[in-house]
Amino acid sequence: MFELSNDPHRRYNPLLGEWVLVSPHRAKRPWQGQNEAEDTSSNQPYDETCYLCPGNMRINGEQNEEYHTTYVFANDFAALKPNTPFGEQHDGLFTSQSVQGESHVICFSPDHSKSMAQLSENEIVAVINTWQDLLEKLSVKYPWVQIFENKGAVMGCSNPHPHGQVWAQSQVPSLALRTGKQLLQYYAKEQRALLLDYAEQELARDERVVCTNKDWVVVVPYWAAWPFETLLLPRFPVQHLHNLTVQQSNSLAAILSQITIKYDNLFNTSFPYSMGWHGQVFDGEEHPEWTLHGHFYPPLLRSATVKKFMVGYEMLGEPQRDITPEQAAALLKNQSSTHYRMAREMR
């Protein structure tokens, strides 16, 4: 008998219109590949050599404020510039277009040692409020505003001080366009938002739910490609972060605290990931097909030192994973809601 938990199979990702190969039997193979360095994140609240700590000088010679909550500044090495000249070229198969935009850095806290998993819920609310303020400001000028965080050196983060970024640009990026087309196709057929339906179905099955509260649910999506990938979904209609009520922002802070603590507790390490938010395009139109959602893409596979690589078949064929999403969800769900470092201090 064919079993999803044991046999190779493919799962469809309705957000991108692509398939993911799942090979659960491969999880038993011995690992002889690369091992990453153990977590050596600082326990000190201030680092005089850090470009992001309060009062310190950044690489461009500007000095940070003596900030006490979140702190925002224009990225010193911005990938996008607001004054790029307009222009495009079409020459056979050679097409290009200029892009305008802005890049901002958000320091989550003045404390150099605290990732989001170690912030209080009130401190996470301050991060959410900062995201919301930047969205309101930038969405007036740009059709797409991308909020994201790269956490950990293994994800290419160049500075260990807990921070994220916000990029706004004059064109909607490729993945957002693909997602928008998939959501619109589903809405045209069902007259309902795909992700609201998906959240309801996941809650009803309770096979991949990691944590939930009155307003939000975190699941390992049925089509997850990364080993411990999660999807953060609202349980109510909402198109973007700055549309949340105060209560919904508070409950979002609570579930962000839960999922990031569970990540850290899984391997007793400051769990690396790339995370970010997708919401509706800012084009002046109504978009009932869109539902705000957050993605967490962590690379770790078997331990704090063994990560998943997207190579070979993944680059040439389609995404592939070994442990099933159901197994990953169970492992995350069973983690304590108390951060492992705090648990150590309490002993």
Choose, from 163, 240, 293, 339, the residue flagged as catalytic.
163
Q: Does 107 count as an annotated binding residue?
A: no
Q: Does 50 count as an annotated binding residue?
A: yes
Active site (annotated) includes residue 240: no
Q: Does 211 count as an annotated binding residue?
A: no
Dist CA 194 CA 65 (whole Å): 43
Q: Does 293 count as an annotated binding residue?
A: no
Dist CA 102 CA 98 (whole Å): 14
Binding site residue list for Zn(2+)? 50, 53, 112, 161
Cite the annotated binding site by residue number.
50, 53, 112, 161
Active site residues: 163
